[in-house]
Amino acid sequence: MPKKTGAQITRDIESIPVKTFIDDYVYRIDLDADYQREKIWSREDQEKLIDSIIKNIDIPKIYLARIKGKENFD
């Protein structure tokens, strides 16, 4: 039987509307984390993403990590 080592990771999968995501989460996400890459999207790319969301086109999933004891997300 394999040994368990390290911290236990749990995950919850949840789908939420974009408006709920923005209202409840976006202002609590640390977009200036050390590992976060610089902004690389052109204005046109940003507009295309917004257009896709408005047209209800499926977009890639967003993954967030919540660290116990912290209010913000990474």
Each residue's pLDDT tens digit, 13-66: 778 787 877 777 666 666 666 766 667 778 898 889 889 988 989 888 777 666
Q: How far is CA 31 from CA 3, 4, 48, 57, 62, in A?
A: 36, 33, 21, 25, 13
Tokens linked to 63: 């993954």
Residue 30 has a pLDDT of 66
Q: What ranges do the domains of the chain cover?
A: 14-74
Q: Helix (H) and strand (E) counts for the chain?
A: 2, 0
Residue with tokens 């990771």: 9
